[in-house]
Amino acid sequence: MSAQVRVVSGGLSTTVQDLGRTGRYAIGMPPSGAMDQYSFRVANLLVGNPEGAAALEATYIGPSLEFTDDRLVAVTGGDAAVTLNGEPIPMWSSTQVRSGDVLAFGMITSGARPYIAVSGGIAVPEYLGSRSTYTLIGLGGHEGRTLADGDVLPLGDGSTGEAGAVVPDELVPQFPSDIDVRAVVGLCSYRLTEAALESFLSTPWRITKDADRVGYRLRGGTLDFVEREQPFGAGSDPANVVDLGYPLGSIQVPGGDEPIVLLGDAVTGGGYVTIATVISVDRDLFGQAKTGDTIRFRDVGIDEALAARADRNRRLDRIRSALA
Amino acid sequence: MSQPVQLPPARYEHGGDEFIFVEIAEEMSMEANIKATLITQELESRQMSGLVDICPSNASYLVRFDPDVIPPADLMALLKDLEGRFQEVPEGFTLQTRVVDVPVLYNDPWTHEAMMRFRDRHQDPESTDLEYGARTNGFDSVEAFIEHLAGNPWIVTMLGFVPGLPFCYQLEPRERQVQVPKYVRPRTFTPERAFGIGGAFSVVYPVQGAGGYQLYGMSATPVLNVRQDHPDFAHSIVFPGAGDILRYRSVDRTEFDDTRREVEAGTFRYRQHDVEFSPAAFLDDPQGVNDRLLEVLYR
C-alpha cells in the first residue's frame, strides 16, 4: 500500500496548496496557492521538501491527521497549540512521526492559517501544473474541495531529513491583529476624490466576516467618487469602469464603502473601480489576518515594493542556509 | 473607408510589484480592443522569460511578471515602445478567428427565479431585468429586445472574473449598442450558464456563483469543462477565446432541452466555422460584415 495520511477531522477549512497555478490568468484562472507563501515555503524547508511541494493550509481550526508511516512534519504560520498523540510539539520546527501517530490542533491564538508540511509532500494529482485547490470552481487539490473527515491523502516519497530542525526566532513572523499593509496606489484611483484617497489611507479598516481565499471585504469608511459622465460601456454606477483585469492584491471599491482586497483565489477581472495593489510580500499578511483585525494601508512606490521583496528573499535565503 | 479613430495615449500603472495595468481607453470601442489585442499578441510572440501572464481586456490589458527576472522599469519601457508601434490598426489587419453558434433560452425559468430573489439589489425592483433593459434601451417590448440581443453576433473581448467567462461586445455600430447598469449590489447567486449583460458586455457565467450583471437567459451549452470530457474542450478547459465571435441564438424550450441532453451525454458539438474578421471592414459596413458572418456560420 502506498503511503498516505488519514484525515481524522478536516478542521474548519483545510485545503491542499502549493505555490500556485500560475500562467493562466488570461483565461480567468487565478493562481490559488498558499495565502501566506513565506510560512508555506518554510514549512516545506523544515521537512526537507522542495519549497513548492504540496502541503496543507488550515484556516482558524486545524485538522487532525493520522499517519500511516514514518515521516517528518512541520507546522508554521498562524499560532495554534499543536499536539502529537496529545503531547504538545513546537511550531516552526520539524518533528518525527510514526505510523499511527495523530497530529492535532487547538484553537488558533494569533494569525489565521497554519501550514502543515509532510516530508514527501501531499501527492494529489496535479491539475494544470499545480496541486493547489481552487474551491470556487472545484478543481485541484483533493477533489477540488476542503478536507472532510475520513479523507485519505496520498504522500510522495519521504525525505531522509532529520527531526529537530528549527527556524531561528528572528525569522519567525509575528501576526498582530493590527496590521500595516503596503500598497501601490494607482490603477483607477483617479476615480476617487482627493479627500477619499486620503481617507482610504488614513482609515483603520476592519476585516468583515466576508474574508476568504478569494478576497477580504473591509469596512470602516466611505469613499466618494469624482463625478463624471460614465464612459461608454462601463455601466451607470460611479463605481463602474469598463471591465478590466484585476491584479492579484488589488483593492476594489464597489459602492465606495466596502473595499475588497483580492487574494489567491481572486476573481481575475470585472467592472469595479480598483484603486491600489497590495505589494506581493504583504499579500502574506492577509493570509494571517482574520475577521475583526484592523488594516491600515500605506502608499509605497515601486522601489519600496521591490526592496521589501528583496528583504523577504534574503530572509528565505537565511532559512535555506540555516536548514541546509 | 471610415476615419481611423484616434485614441488618447494609454495610461500605465503599477499593480504592486508584479503587475502592470495598461488602460488603452476609458470607454469601450472596437479600436481600443484591437489595440490591446495587437500589443498583447506582439508581447506574447516575444516569449520573454519572467513574463507570467498576458491578459488582453476590453479596453486595457494586464501583465503579470516576476520582478526578480524583469525589472519593472524595463518592462514598462518595452510596453510603451510597443504602444508606439501600434498607433493605428495596420493596413489589412485581420483576426483569424471563428464564429460560433451558442443556443440560448432567453427569459428562462431559472435565471428568472434567481433574478426575483434579488429584486432588492436592482435599480428597478418592480420590473424584471428584461423589462428594465428593454425600456431603458428604447425597445417596445421584451421580445424586440431579445431579438436585438440574439440578432447580430458578439465578439469576445476579454476572458476573466472566473475561468472561461467571456466578456462579449456586440458587433453593432455605437448607436445600436445596448447598455445596462450592473446590479446596485452584486447577487450572491447566479445559475450556471446564465446569460446576462452589464455595461455594454454580455457574459455567460461558467459556474454558479456571485454576479452583478442583468440576467436575460441561459445558454444550453457550457463555456467551462473542468474534466475536459466534452469533445469541444479537448485542448482547453475553456471554450471561448479572445477574438471569438459568438452568436447568442434564441432557441425554444424544446431545442434547449434537446441540446441539454446532448451536452449531458457528451455528444454535443458547437456549430462553428473558422473566419477572417477585419475590424476595418466591420467599422466600414457593420451589417454587411455581420450578414456574411452569419451566412458562413449557417451555410
pLDDT at B1: 43
* CB–CB contacts below 8 A, A to B: 202
Across the interface, of A29, A240, A248, the residue whose CB is closest to B199 is: A240
pLDDT at B6: 66
B94 touches B276 (CB < 8 A): yes
- B244-267 pLDDT, tens digit per residue, is 999 999 999 999 999 999 999 999
What chain A residue is nearest to B207 in terms of C-alpha separation? A137
Residue A31's DSSP bridge partners are none
Query: What is the distance in angstroms between the Cα of B69 and the nearest Cα belonging to chain A?
Result: 12
Average pLDDT, chain B: 95
C-alpha cell at A16: 491542499
B26 touches A213 (CB < 8 A): no
Q: Is A228 on the interface with B (CB under 8 A)?
A: no
- B115-164 pLDDT, tens digit per residue, is 999 999 998 999 999 999 999 999 999 999 999 999 999 999 999 999 99
CA distances from B188 to B9, B199, B208 (A): 38, 19, 9
pLDDT at A1: 52
Nearest by Cα to A104 from A149, A166, A43, A164 = A149
- A128-162 pLDDT, tens digit per residue, is 999 999 999 999 999 999 999 999 999 999 766 78
Pairing state of beta strands A178-185 and A294-299? parallel
Residue A19: other Cβ atoms inside 10 A: 21
Q: What distance in Å separates the CA atoms of residue B149 and residue B163, rounded to the nearest whole number?
A: 24
What mean pLDDT comes out for the span B30-37? 93
Is the predicted pLDDT of residue B4 greater than 60, yes or no?
no
> What residues of B are in contact with residue A143 (Cβ under 8 Å)?
none
pLDDT at B5: 57
Is the predicted pLDDT of residue A314 greater than 50, yes or no?
yes
- In angstroms, how far is the first alpha carbon of chain B from the final one? 29
**What is the reported pTM?**
0.95
Nearest by Cα to B233 from B244, B242, B222 = B222
The verdict on ipTM greater than 0.90 is yes
pLDDT at A255: 80
- A241-278 pLDDT, tens digit per residue, is 999 999 999 999 988 889 999 999 999 999 999 999 99
- A198-221 pLDDT, tens digit per residue, is 999 999 999 999 999 999 999 999
A281 touches A309 (CB < 8 A): yes
Residue labelled with grid coordinates 447580430 = B152
Enumerate the H helices of chain B as residue ranges. Answer: 30-46, 72-85, 109-117, 129-136, 142-151, 253-265, 279-284, 286-298
- 3-state SS, residue A289: coil
Q: What distance in Å separates the CA atoms of residue B176 and residue B179, rounded to the nearest whole number?
A: 10
